[in-house]
């Protein structure tokens, strides 16, 4: 399911990543026991971690709302396909043809 809103990045996800990064995190008011019931999806962790690192580098601090927004921006940017990725299918189909053209002895170059 694609993430389309910063609210999709739950505060418990952010807290878990911050804790893994060594930042102090207070236990949630609704937390029962020591174990986390909601685990951060592995695919989101790198985006959250990078968002925190960027915010600290830029501002020296962060809020959960800023982390949510930056994480969403990073996810959206990672999903944008580059020209190379968009053309990969086309290039792979003509790759052999291009190789044949380059190797063809009837092809010559002018200096």
Instruction: Encode pLDDT of 54-64 as tens digits.
Output: 999 999 989 99
What number is the average pLDDT over the span 64-81?
Answer: 89
pLDDT tens per residue, range 76-95: 888 776 665 656 656 556 66
pLDDT tens per residue, range 16-50: 999 999 999 888 888 787 788 889 999 999 999 99
Q: What domain range is 54 assigned to?
A: 6-82
| CB 58 within 8 Å of CB 47 | no
In a domain, 101, yes or no: no
Number of domains in the chain: 1
In a domain, 98, yes or no: no
Alpha carbons 15 and 96: distance in angstroms, whole number: 50
């Amino acid at each position: 399911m694609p993430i389309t809103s910063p609210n999709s990045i739950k505060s418990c996800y952010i807290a878990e990543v911050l804790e893994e990064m060594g930042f102090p995190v207070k236990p949630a008011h609704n937390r029962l026991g020591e174990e986390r019931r909601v685990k951060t999806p592995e695919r989101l962790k790198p985006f959250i971690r990078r968002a925190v690192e960027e915010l600290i580098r830029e501002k020296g601090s962060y809020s959960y709302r800023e982390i949510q927004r930056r994480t969403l921006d990073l996810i959206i940017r990672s999903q944008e396909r580059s020209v190379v990725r968009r053309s990969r299918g086309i290039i792979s189909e003509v790759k052999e043809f291009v190789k044949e053209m380059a190797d063809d002895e009837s092809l010559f170059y002018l200096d």
